[in-house]
């Protein structure tokens, strides 16, 4: 890895980021970009070069407080994060388990390379989730189909990928061949940030190495029997590329649970949402109701049953996540009310004893 320093422009600074800053911020601190998040602080890059900045306890309280790609202000006098600058975009998922905590994947990303392979990993329902994630965050999704060198019918994979969302960009690639890198170059613009996501073993780190022109990231073969990877990459990290763009490599995901991604899901399933508007009744349940445009499209073969089932599944998940958010808020309200009552009781008791 090189230890050179970068100008703000090279690091991807946008003038809009400064809207969140005051003159005071600039007097005592300087902007830096997070390249990795560690337990005891963050790795940063700035006009001063590479550095490590500790995160004061109060700032770290929130699990998702910092993400790779975040801009932060670092104190001039100490290598300490002063505060985070408002994000332009955030890719986040809901952590596994019952807590529904949001887990950041990467911040300030321009393009999300959604990586899958032309093999058993290819799964349209999972890809619809990834594209929803990008659309929700306002990040451009690009579908990257690796292992094109190993498939008999690459065109069939490309066609299925194109059907995920109208107008989505799809590129098939052999990530082992530096000569095929040109298909990703349109998004490798100076100061822009791209991130790779996808299952383990699809070639995210192989592509990262190709773009950085380095072998910084370890890669490993997949299991022959089921095409599954071995979770080789374990941390998210951002690297410079020879094209001046930034690339974020991430660990392979087992599942992608969406949080409040209503708009993202609606953007991916515009076809189904448009059909629903053509149903005869406004409150159509799309389940045996008369004049249902969705059922008609299914019967005519215009709409794929798998796609509709996934849309319904995602709608149920979104409703679940709205419910859990409401419950969290309600819980907070009950707690506040209880604390207020306790304070009142105490005041009354004190008043009586005087
Ligand atoms: N033939 C072929 N092999 C590939 C291609 N892309 C990746 N591979 C191989 O697939 C295996 C997995 O690649 P990685 O880059 O480690 O995959 P990853 O997505 O980073 O996986 P995790 O870090 O586990 O999430 C390696 O053996 C790569 O050499 C490709 O386009 N063609
Ligand atoms: Mg990897
Ligand atoms: Zn209907």
Which atom of ligand 1 has the smallest separation from the CA of 199?
Answer: 25
- Given 249, 266, 291, the domain boundary residue is 249
**Length of the chain in terms of residues written:** 354
User: How many domains would you assign to the chain?
Assistant: 2
340 among the known binding-site residues?
no
Contact 33 CB / ligand 1 (< 6 Å): no
Q: State the distance from the centre of ligand 3 to the C-alpha of 268, rounded, in angstroms.
A: 18
Nearest bound ligand to CA 232? 1
Q: Residue 182 domain-assigned?
A: yes
Q: State the distance from the centre of ligand 3 to the C-alpha of 312, rounded, in angstroms.
A: 12
Domain co-membership, 62 together with 102 = no
Domain co-membership, 132 together with 230 = yes
| Ligand 1 probe mutation, 120, 175, 218, most atoms within 8 A of CB | 175
Nearest to 299 by CA among 286, 282, 312, 310: 286
Domain co-membership, 48 together with 99 = no
Contact 206 CB / ligand 1 (< 6 Å): yes
286 among the known binding-site residues?
yes
Other C-beta atoms lying within 10 Å of the C-beta of residue 124: 15
Burial of 221 (0-12, 13-18, 19+ CB in 10 A): exposed
In the DSSP assignment, the letter for residue 150 is G
Which atom of ligand 1 has the smallest separation from the CA of 219?
Answer: 16
Domain co-membership, 25 together with 103 = no
- pLDDT, position 220: 79
Contact 236 CB / ligand 1 (< 6 Å): no
Q: State the distance from the centre of ligand 2 to the C-alpha of 115, rounded, in angstroms.
A: 11
Contact 114 CB / ligand 1 (< 6 Å): no
Which atom of ligand 1 has the smallest separation from the CA of 229?
Answer: 24
Q: Residue 317 domain-assigned?
A: no
Buried b (16+ CB within 10 A) or exposed e, 145-155: bbbbeebeebe
Domain co-membership, 244 together with 98 = yes
229 among the known binding-site residues?
no
Q: State the distance from the centre of ligand 1 to the C-alpha of 105, rounded, in angstroms.
A: 20
Domain co-membership, 106 together with 210 = yes
Q: Which long-range contacts (CB under 8 A, 24 or more apart) does 330-337 make?
A: none
Domain co-membership, 245 together with 98 = yes
Domain co-membership, 79 together with 99 = no
Domain co-membership, 67 together with 41 = yes
Q: State the distance from the centre of ligand 3 to the C-alpha of 256, rounded, in angstroms.
A: 28
Q: What is the DSSP pairing of strand 140-146 with strand 90-94?
A: unpaired
- Given 49, 84, 119, the domain boundary residue is 84
Q: Are 19 and 201 in contact (CB under 8 A)?
A: no
Query: Where in the sequence is the domain holding 159, given as residue range(s)?
Result: 90-249
| Ligand 1 probe mutation, 115, 220, 237, 249, most atoms within 8 A of CB | 220
148 among the known binding-site residues?
yes
Domain co-membership, 102 together with 228 = yes
- pLDDT, position 1: 41
- pLDDT, position 353: 60
In tens digits, what is the pLDDT along the chain, a chain of 354 residues? 445 788 999 999 999 998 989 888 888 999 999 999 988 889 999 999 999 999 887 766 555 689 999 999 999 888 999 889 999 999 999 887 767 778 899 999 999 999 999 999 999 999 999 999 999 999 999 999 999 999 999 999 999 999 999 999 999 999 999 998 999 999 999 999 999 999 999 999 999 999 998 877 788 777 766 678 888 888 899 999 989 999 999 999 988 999 889 999 999 999 999 999 999 999 998 988 999 999 999 999 999 999 999 999 999 999 988 887 788 777 777 777 777 787 788 778 777 665
Any idea what the CATH number is for the domain that residue 77 is in? 2.40.50.140
Q: State the distance from the centre of ligand 2 to the C-alpha of 146, rounded, in angstroms.
A: 13
Q: Residue 148 domain-assigned?
A: yes
Domain co-membership, 54 together with 201 = no
Domain co-membership, 138 together with 202 = yes
Cβ neighbours for 42, distance < 8 A, ≥ 6 positions apart: 34, 36, 52, 53, 55, 66, 72, 81
284 among the known binding-site residues?
yes
Which atom of ligand 1 has the smallest separation from the CA of 200?
Answer: 25
């Amino acid at each position: 890895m090189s230890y050179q320093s970068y100008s703000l422009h090279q690091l991807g600074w946008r003038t809009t980021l400064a809207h969140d800053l005051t003159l005071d911020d600039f007097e005592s601190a300087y902007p830096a970009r997070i390249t990795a998040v560690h337990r005891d602080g963050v790795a940063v890059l700035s006009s001063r070069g590479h550095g490590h900045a500790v995160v004061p306890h109060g700032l770290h309280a929130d699990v998702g407080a910092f993400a790779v790609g975040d801009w932060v202000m670092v104190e001039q006098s100490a290598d300490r994060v002063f505060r985070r600058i408002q994000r332009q975009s955030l890719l986040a998922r809901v952590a596994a388990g019952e807590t529904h905590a949001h887990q950041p994947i990467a911040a300030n990303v321009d393009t999300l390379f959604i990586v899958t392979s032309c093999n058993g990993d290819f799964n349209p329902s999972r890809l619809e989730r990834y594209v929803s994630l990008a659309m929700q965050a306002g990040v451009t999704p690009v579908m990257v189909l690796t292992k094109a060198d190993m498939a008999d019918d690459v065109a069939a994979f490309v066609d299925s990928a194109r059907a995920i969302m109208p107008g989505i960009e799809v590129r098939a690639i052999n990530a082992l061949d530096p000569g095929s890198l040109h298909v990703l170059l349109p998004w490798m613009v100076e100061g822009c940030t791209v991130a790779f996501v996808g299952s383990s073993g699809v070639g995210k780190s192989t592509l990262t190495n190709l773009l950085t022109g380095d072998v910084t990231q370890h890669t490993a073969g997949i299991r022959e029997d089921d095409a599954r990877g071995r979770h080789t990459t374990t941390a998210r990290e951002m690297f410079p590329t020879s094209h001046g763009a930034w690339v974020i490599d991430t660990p392979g995901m087992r599942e992608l649970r969406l949080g409040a991604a209503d708009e993202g899901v609606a953007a991916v399933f515009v076809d189904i949402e448009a059909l629903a508007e053509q149903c005869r009744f406004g409150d159509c349940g799309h389940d045996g109701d008369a004049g249902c445009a969705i059922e008609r499209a299914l019967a005519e073969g215009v709409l794929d049953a798998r796609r509709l089932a996934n849309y319904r599944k995602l709608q149920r998940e979104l409703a679940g996540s709205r419910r859990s958010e409401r419950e969290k808020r309600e819980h907070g309200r009950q707690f506040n009310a209880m604390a207020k009552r306790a304070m009142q009781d105490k005041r009354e008791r004190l008043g009586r004893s005087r």
